[in-house]
Amino acid sequence: MLRTLRPGRATDRDALFRLEERCFEGDRFSRRQLAHLLTRANALSLLAVSESEQVIGYGTLLFRRNSRMARLYSFCVDPEARGSGLGRELLEALEVAARERECTRLVLEVRADNRVAMGLYRRMGFMAHHWIDDYYADGCAAWRMDKDLAAPASAAESQT
């Protein structure tokens, strides 16, 4: 499947909303929240777009002024595109973007029951450091994970 990665634009709001509906049962962003992330927040959203111009994945990084830490605030891949390597490709591009902003650490929260996402993050060098009870609206816990962006890629990471 051919795809391109590009920065999100205000006009992508509705496509991102539809993707969120396909990917998440709860804890979805509203159109208003997505518009804010795309236009007003100190954030970067990278979109994966198919040949037919359909948004098939995205990730949003949040940045804080005077901080070298970036937060992976949202990340999802269309169910039909899963298993194609898109998640890894998108995450690698987001890490590059964080490094370009001179960030040295990337943090995220992931549902404790999302073994696929946790596996991807671990393969990409993230470490689970903190358990958060009742993090999501349905009561599911989360793991806070992070990655040192200043460290060189590990041998295991570069082979996967």
- CA–CA distances in Å: residue 76 to residues 1, 59, 67, 86: 17, 7, 25, 10
Query: What is residue 1's predicted lDDT score, i.e. its pLDDT?
Result: 62
Tokens of residue 58, six digits: 């995205």
Query: What is residue 152's predicted lDDT score, i.e. its pLDDT?
Result: 63
Parts of the chain with a pLDDT under 50 = 155-157, 159-160
Query: What is residue 153's predicted lDDT score, i.e. its pLDDT?
Result: 57
> 149: Cβ–Cβ under 8 A, 6 or more apart, which residues?
70, 95, 98, 99, 103, 104, 105, 106
Query: What is residue 155's predicted lDDT score, i.e. its pLDDT?
Result: 43
Alpha helix (H) residue ranges in the chain: 13-23, 31-39, 86-100, 115-123, 155-159
Q: Which amino acid is at 11?
A: T
Vertex 65: Cα angle to 62 and 68 (nearest 5): 75
Q: How many CB atoms lie within 10 A of CB 103?
A: 21
To 10 degrees, the CA torsion angle through 109, 113, 116, 121?
Answer: 30
Q: 28 is in which domain, residue-wise?
A: 3-159
Indicate which CATH number applies to the domain containing 32.
Answer: 3.40.630.30
Contact 50, 32 (CB under 8 A): no
Place of tokens 């039909």: 80
Length of the chain: 160
Query: What is residue 156's predicted lDDT score, i.e. its pLDDT?
Result: 44
Indicate the number of domains in the chain. 1
Query: What is residue 133's predicted lDDT score, i.e. its pLDDT?
Result: 96
User: For residue range 112-126, what is the model confidence (pLDDT) as tens digits?
Assistant: 999 999 999 999 999
pTM, to two decimals: 0.89
